[in-house]
Amino acid sequence: MFLTRYNDRPSTLKVDHEVQTNMEIELEDGKVTKSRKGTVHSLNEFDITVWEDGEVTAKRKYYASTDPGKYFPNMSVSDGAITLPIEDLVGFILERITPAELADGIMADDEAREALVEKMAERYASPEFTDADRRSFLTKVQKQIHAKAIDRAIGRLNGLEQNARSYSDHDRWRAVELGNYKLVYRRYMDALSELREAGVLDAEAITERLKYLTTPEQLETRVKEHRDPISIESVGPHWSESRDYWRAELLKFFPEPQDEPVADEQMAVL
């Protein structure tokens, strides 16, 4: 296809260079390594390889021109070793991801997380870390602990409220809904008795109708075993409201830590 694009007369390509690869062939006795030679010819933007077994492959040439100094101006190359400041590498990464994403990536690696904790401890005790920085750091730690504790307390209180409301709805369902069903069941049984006395239904017909009828006792047993769906569904709409209520109540007694401004006298001492 490449040789006859512009005319039907065959063309001869000069050999650019030769290549040799090793192929592993799996046999029953094991793997056998076989060398494979070929010649590479250049045609426009393609490298055409003609292998000694007759196979021909084509690959588009790839040219890459980059300027590493554009991203790493302080990079140096000496004896084949590339050296660049870590600050340039971090700046290069932060141009493509957010600091929060970089922190998440560090915390996901065990060794990096351990090293980060050690560096934080060293930084906390270093002279460059001022008292204002320490207060800000400790306040952020307190906020995280406070938020976790509040969430756990809300979950427990919300669960207790859910159980209380569930039992309340369960008792209401037994008292009201089950009572109504008993009344309907009694009226239905009275109607069957009247039809049997009138000769409209015989004993077999009545038995057939009672076969698929649930008695109040059976219904109450099922309620005790599986809990009625009404009591479960009734809790759902109140779940978010309950969490918001308990959060507001807990924050009244346990307010969130705040950054306290440093007084002028304290700043003078510092």
Q: Are residues 164 and 233 in the same domain?
A: yes
Q: What is the pLDDT of residue 141?
A: 86
Encode pLDDT of 38-76 as tens digits: 888 877 777 788 888 878 888 777 665 666 666 667 777
Distance CA 72, CA 57 (A): 38
pLDDT band at residue 25 under the 50/70/90 scheme: confident
Q: Are residues 75 and 52 in the same domain?
A: no
Could you tell me which residue, 264 or 181, shows the higher pLDDT? 181
Q: Are residues 119 and 142 in the same domain?
A: no
Would residue 101 be called left, alpha or beta, if left means φ above 0 and alpha means ψ between -120 and 50 degrees?
alpha
Helix (H, G, I), strand (E, B) or coil at 269: helix
Q: Are residues 112 and 40 in the same domain?
A: no
Distance CA 195, CA 148 (A): 67
**CB-count exposure of residue 261 (10 Å: 0-12, 13-18, 19+):** exposed
Q: Are residues 119 and 218 in the same domain?
A: no
pLDDT at 98 over 60: yes
Query: Average pLDDT, stretch 92-115?
Result: 88
For residue 170, being part of any structural domain is answered with yes
Q: Are residues 85 and 28 in the same domain?
A: no
pLDDT at 167 over 70: no
Structure tokens at 66: 């980059």
For residue 221, being part of any structural domain is answered with yes
Looking at the structure of the chain, the number of domains it has is 3
Print the domain residue range for 99: 69-130
For the entire predicted model, the pTM comes to: 0.41
Distance CA 247, CA 256 (A): 11
Helices (H), the chain: 68-71, 86-94, 99-108, 110-125, 131-172, 178-197, 203-210, 216-226, 229-233, 236-253, 264-269
For residue 4, being part of any structural domain is answered with no
Q: Are residues 41 and 94 in the same domain?
A: no
Structure tokens at 265: 């006298």
Q: Are residues 126 and 138 in the same domain?
A: no
Q: Are residues 89 and 182 in the same domain?
A: no
For residue 270, being part of any structural domain is answered with no
For residue 3, being part of any structural domain is answered with no
Encode pLDDT of 123-147 as tens digits: 888 888 888 888 888 888 888 898 8
User: Torsions phi, psi of 214, nearest 5?
Assistant: -90, 125
Could you tell me which residue, 236 or 99, shows the higher pLDDT? 99
Q: Are residues 141 and 89 in the same domain?
A: no
Structure tokens at 88: 């340039």
Q: Are residues 106 and 54 in the same domain?
A: no
For residue 268, being part of any structural domain is answered with no
* Alpha-carbon distances of 61 from 41, 43, 46, 77, rounded to whole Å: 12, 10, 5, 28
For residue 9, being part of any structural domain is answered with no
Q: Are residues 109 and 140 in the same domain?
A: no
**CB-count exposure of residue 158 (10 Å: 0-12, 13-18, 19+):** buried
For residue 10, being part of any structural domain is answered with no
Helix (H, G, I), strand (E, B) or coil at 80: coil
